[in-house]
Amino acid sequence: MAEVKAYSQAAGTGKYEKINHLSGKYDNVRRFWEDQLTGIFLRPHLNKVVERKRNALERLRVVDLGCGGGDGYDLLMGVTAKDPGLYDYIHQTVTPDMLQEYVGVDVNENLLTQARECYGHHPKVRFEQCDLSKGLPFKKEEAPFDVYLTSYGTMSHFRDEQAVDLLSDICEHANDGAIFIGDWLGRYSYEWRDLWHNSSDEEYFMDYRISYIYPPEERDREDIPVFPLRLMTRHEIMNIVQKAEKRCNCTIKPLHFFDRSILVGRHLATGDYNCDCHDLRLPINSLLEGYIRTDINQLLTDFVPRRGFDFLNNFFENFFLSCNCLVNHVVAMLAGSGENELQTRVEPFYPQPLREAINTMRLVIEAAGKLHYGDPRANMIETHLAYSLRKLEMELQPGTGMGHGLVGIFEVSK
């Protein structure tokens, strides 16, 4: 399959290694933005499942569908039970003693080899090779799981009927109260603005290239594999859910939808599907790297709309203008950081998340200005600017398919 060849080739470049910061699959943005954002949205629902299992004197069983190099293990075990106070220790939602078993399954043996190298020493972790396009590989007599996890576009590898089959299998296998995390590519990401015209009434697959793992001078290589990935809206996902409900005679309750990577999608850097894209991932990776100062003006985005898509244009215009506004306020505050009070005007018509982010950055810059070692700008101010931009992505997005990823969290009720 084209997907197997593509991911095997990507793994062979070394860009899929776990230790990366400014580039590669596991860069700063992946670890401190995308994984963390996913964990924050997942937290309340995962807390509920864990608490129910704890009260029943049982432990948690997790299956990671399309696990790749074991990405879901890092993601799930990294979810914190709450935002800790300054004095508190960080507590994970799924503590080692609460995990009974994590099972990762994938079609690609090269990625499974990487997964086993990274996590195979854990006694509660195992990996299996299988083709999920043919349905869930577990027999009914095998113990059900409490969490059925997919991550980073796994569900976009399937045709809609295959997704219905897989979700139906999950519902038949799961116990009452299990959760399913479905992760697709969003249909209306700014990264692929050139594809917006494809009707959401039709099952549409884009020709996806993993060109972003290569340096800019190599992204036109003819040997970069291309494979189809399904672009989705919330409405299209719910159509799949409703078909699965009818087939397995149970309720699949949507708990939350969210858009991920509106501002930091990987193809903002390539321009493969939108030549007007501005690469924000690299400067945001720099914001999150210690002892590196970033040219903050690189974060300003000139959004270029596409005619005939007023609803999408209005969302992205407001979103990018809010991000630009935050950046401009930070630049102004840094320029005036020698003053007793940092004066920038916060207009009352700004969205609430933007007002909160500006006021928070003012406090951070005022506090950091009193420190004289450890490069407080690089290590405090810039890092918190990245988190403030992440806050805007979390709180201004509609959860309908506007980001690189569109994630739905569901509960199975029998």
Please report the pLDDT score of residue 395 as a whole number: 98
| Cα–Cα distance, 167 to 165 (Å, whole number) | 6
Q: Which residue did the predictor score with more confidence, 187 or 339?
A: 187
Please report the pLDDT score of residue 3 as a whole number: 65
Exposed/middle/buried for residue 101 (C-beta within 10 Å: 0-12, 13-18, 19+): middle
Q: What domains can be seen in the chain, in order of their start residue?
A: 2-262+399-413 (3.40.50.150), 281-396 (no CATH)
Distances (CA, A) of 239 to 127, 185, 249, 254, 403: 31, 16, 15, 12, 20
- The Cα diameter of the chain in Å comes to 69
**Does residue 341 register a pLDDT over 80?**
no
Question: Count H helices, E strands: the chain?
Answer: 12, 9
**Does residue 130 register a pLDDT over 90?**
yes
Please report the pLDDT score of residue 11 as a whole number: 55
pLDDT confidence band for 1 (50 / 70 / 90):
low
Instruction: Write b or e for each residue in 255-271: b if 16 or more Cβ atoms lie within 10 A of its Cβ, otherwise e.
Output: bebbbbbbbbbbbbbbb
3-state SS assignment for residue 47: helix
First to last CA, the chain: 36
pLDDT confidence band for 204 (50 / 70 / 90):
very high
Please report the pLDDT score of residue 133 as a whole number: 94
Q: Write out 217-249 in H/E/C secondary structure.
A: HHCCCCCCCEEEEEEECHHHHHHHHHHHHHHHC
**Does residue 272 register a pLDDT over 70?**
yes
Please report the pLDDT score of residue 18 as a whole number: 56
| Predicted TM-score of the model (pTM) | 0.92
Tens-place pLDDT, residues 388-400: 999 999 999 999 9
Amino acid at the residue 155: M
Nearest to 268 by CA among 286, 256, 283, 280: 280
Please report the pLDDT score of residue 223 as a whole number: 87
Average pLDDT over residues 152-160: 97
Average pLDDT over residues 24-45: 94
**Taking the CA of residue 274 as centre, how many other CA atoms within 13 Å lie in the half-sphere pointing to its CB?**
23
